[in-house]
């Protein structure tokens, strides 16, 4: 499984209408978590963030909110920002524009947000053009790789601390596959960044 840890320049050049990072002027990072809310994993991520007093942005799957409303309520009550990640974690490349947009709107009846992140980072130009009318489409600057079950936790940690810079939008996942890596790497990365003088904001 190949995936870029640092979003390549050519991809950002091809899709300038998408948000890849925030301002590079200040030492500020944007932690994001995809795919929740999920029992055990999302609460553990929330515990880590709470321990360090950090707010993050959670791109939630609508059907997971339906299944686990109490966990979703905790995310919002603790001051984190919510993003839309479709209702059924759809691949845009394999879904018609009409069905994709309907699925996103269904999810937005639960998340009520203007932030959207395409699952797998895959959407079509036609989908993006329509979505841009109502959403800021958030991609990422740094991919942790925590979803990769072949990746050891220390490599996941190295991925984020070696590639993050001012304004980086960093992707972790609060799902079952990612659990061993995100729960290991997240607190260690946060401590590294805090010691390096970074602050954290929501999108």
Q: Are 177 and 38 in contact (CB under 8 A)?
A: no
Q: Which residue has the tokens 């320049």?
A: 9
Q: What is the CATH number of the domain that holds 126?
A: 3.20.20.370
What confidence score (pLDDT) does residue 1 get? 66
Domain count, the chain: 1
Arithmetic mean of pLDDT, 136-141: 97
* Catalytic annotation, pick one of 21, 68, 85, 173: 173
pLDDT in tens, 4-22: 999 999 999 999 999 999 9
For residue 1, being part of any structural domain is answered with no
Q: Please indicate whether residue 26 is annotated as part of the active site.
A: no
Arithmetic mean of pLDDT, 41-45: 98
For residue 2, being part of any structural domain is answered with no
Arithmetic mean of pLDDT, 32-36: 98
Q: Are 103 and 90 in contact (CB under 8 A)?
A: yes
For residue 4, being part of any structural domain is answered with no
For residue 25, being part of any structural domain is answered with yes
Under the banding of pLDDT at 50, 70 and 90, the label for residue 2 is confident
For residue 152, being part of any structural domain is answered with yes
Arithmetic mean of pLDDT, 90-97: 92
> 42 preceded by cis ω (within 30°)?
no
CA–CA gap between residue 179 and residue 42 (Å, rounded): 9
Q: Are 86 and 104 in contact (CB under 8 A)?
A: yes
Residue 138 has pLDDT above 70, yes or no: yes
Average pLDDT, rounded, for the chain: 97
Q: Please indicate whether residue 173 is annotated as part of the active site.
A: yes
Q: Structural domain of residue 39, as residue ranges?
A: 9-200
For residue 35, being part of any structural domain is answered with yes
What confidence score (pLDDT) does residue 200 get? 98
pLDDT in tens, 157-168: 999 999 999 999
* Catalytic annotation, pick one of 34, 35, 146, 174: 34
**0.85 surpassed by pTM:** yes
Q: Are 20 and 167 in contact (CB under 8 A)?
A: no
Residue 77 has pLDDT above 70, yes or no: yes
For residue 169, being part of any structural domain is answered with yes
Q: Are 200 and 54 in contact (CB under 8 A)?
A: yes
């Amino acid at each position: 499984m190949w995936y870029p840890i640092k979003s390549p320049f050519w991809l950002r050049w091809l899709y300038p209408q998408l948000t890849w990072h925030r301002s590079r002027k200040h030492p500020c990072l944007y932690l994001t978590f995809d795919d929740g809310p999920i029992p055990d994993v999302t609460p553990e991520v929330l515990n880590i963030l709470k321990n360090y007093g950090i707010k993050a942005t959670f791109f939630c799957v609508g059907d997971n909110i339906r299944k686990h409303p109490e966990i979703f309520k905790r995310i919002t009550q603790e001051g984190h920002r919510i993003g839309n990640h479709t209702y059924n974690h759809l691949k845009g490349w394999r879904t018609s524009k009409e069905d994709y947009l309907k699925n996103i709107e269904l999810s937005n009846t639960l998340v009520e947000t203007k932030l959207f992140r395409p699952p797998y980072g895959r959407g079509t130009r036609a989908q993006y053009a329509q979505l841009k009318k109502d959403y800021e489409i958030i991609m990422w600057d740094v991919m942790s790789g925590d979803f990769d079950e072949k990746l050891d936790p220390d490599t996941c940690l190295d991925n984020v601390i070696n590639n993050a810079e001012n304004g980086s939008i960093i992707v972790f996942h609060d799902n079952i596959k990612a659990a061993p890596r995100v729960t290991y790497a997240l607190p260690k990365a946060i401590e590294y960044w805090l010691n390096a003088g970074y602050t954290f904001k929501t999108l």
